[in-house]
Amino acid sequence: MTDLLYSYTTTVKFLGSVLGPDYEVVLQDLSNINHSVIAIENGHISGRTIGSPLTSAVFQMLSSKVYEEDDFIANYKGVAENGHILRSSSMFIKDSNGNPIGLLCINFDDSRYMELHEKLFSLIHPGNFVKNMSSGVAESKGNVKDLSSRITESFAIDVASLREQIFNDATANFTTPVDRLNQNERKEIMIKLYEQGLFQLKGSIPFVAKRFSCSQATIYRYLGEINN
């Protein structure tokens, strides 16, 4: 941990105390992606502790190099392990050359307030409450190019869980078992896994090879084709 990152540890404790138990505050060290969380307050929200890995959403931010234009990304969607929807924000901590070395993240769980809102609304307008509850998900407002609108962050407590999470997301649209997919389908999945940062995690090559029922050499060959 650099002195600059260490200076933010007090900020994490301060914000965690001031904002309260519905706000998770996290400090992450990008030099150790497998165990990036170096300080955390109100970790019950995501279930993470010190030593938990980066999220796939952070890999997206880094691969898109959004930090070159913005110092933070605010109010994107997060999903906690218990299914609660979070409002997540991340600030890039940069060195003197403008390179990101860490992240200060805040995840707000508004589920308690939503429950209170629903109870109050059901008392004041019981008829409308039933109608609104059965109306389904609101429609999108249109084409939003901002990265924050395209990110959905899920939180893994360890590297093994993160590997599974990224792999399951990348293969969710395939109905055929992964070990029976053809070469083009596997390449499509490999590109998704690469873009989501899976291969930066420890043990990912043997993990993917096992899921594909192929050799590790085959996975390295796929990666070579992607890089070229």
Burial readout 8-20 (b: 16 or more C-beta within 10 A, e: otherwise): beeebeebbeeee
The pLDDT tens digits for 17-27 are 999 999 999 99
Question: Are 114 and 133 spatial neighbours (Cβ–Cβ below 8 Å)?
Answer: no
The reply to whether 165 and 103 lie within a common domain is no
The reply to whether 182 and 148 lie within a common domain is no
The reply to whether 149 and 207 lie within a common domain is no
Counted residue by residue, the chain has a size of 228
pLDDT per residue of the chain (228 residues) written in tens, 0 to 9: 789 999 999 999 999 999 999 999 999 999 999 999 999 999 999 999 999 999 988 988 998 899 999 999 999 999 888 888 899 999 999 999 999 999 999 999 988 776 676 667 666 666 654 555 444 433 333 333 455 556 677 777 788 988 998 999 899 888 888 888 898 999 999 999 998 889 989 999 999 999 999 999 999 999 999 988
Give the separation between CA 122 and CA 133, rounded to whole angstroms: 10
User: What pLDDT shows up at residue 228?
Assistant: 80
User: What pLDDT shows up at residue 191?
Assistant: 93
Q: Quick check: is 51 in a domain?
A: yes
Q: Quick check: is 100 in a domain?
A: yes
User: What pLDDT shows up at residue 157?
Assistant: 77
Distances in Å between the alpha carbon of 121 and those of 22, 34, 94, 136? 22, 44, 45, 17
Q: 28, 29, 25, 1: which is closest to 14 by C-alpha? A: 25
Q: What one-character-per-residue DSSP string does 166-197 give?
A: HHHHHHTT--S-GGG--HHHHHHHHHHHHHTT
The reply to whether 25 and 79 lie within a common domain is yes
Residues whose CB is less than 8 angstroms from the CB of residue 78 and which lie 6 or more positions away in sequence, other chains included: 46, 57, 85, 86, 87, 88, 107, 152, 153, 154, 155
The reply to whether 71 and 103 lie within a common domain is yes
Last residue of a domain, one of 119, 154, 189: 154
The reply to whether 149 and 172 lie within a common domain is no
Give the separation between CA 31 and CA 50, rounded to whole angstroms: 15
**Which residues in the chain belong to E strands, given as ranges?**
23-29, 37-41, 72-79, 85-94, 100-109, 152-154
User: What pLDDT shows up at residue 142?
Assistant: 39
The reply to whether 83 and 176 lie within a common domain is no
Q: How many domains does the chain have?
A: 2
The reply to whether 176 and 78 lie within a common domain is no
Structure-token pair, residue 89: 């924000």
The reply to whether 174 and 207 lie within a common domain is yes
User: What pLDDT shows up at residue 115?
Assistant: 66
Instruction: Look up the domain containing 178 and give its range.
Output: 159-227
The reply to whether 180 and 85 lie within a common domain is no
The reply to whether 165 and 187 lie within a common domain is yes
Q: How much of the chain is helix, strand and coil, in % rounded to 5?
A: 50, 20, 30
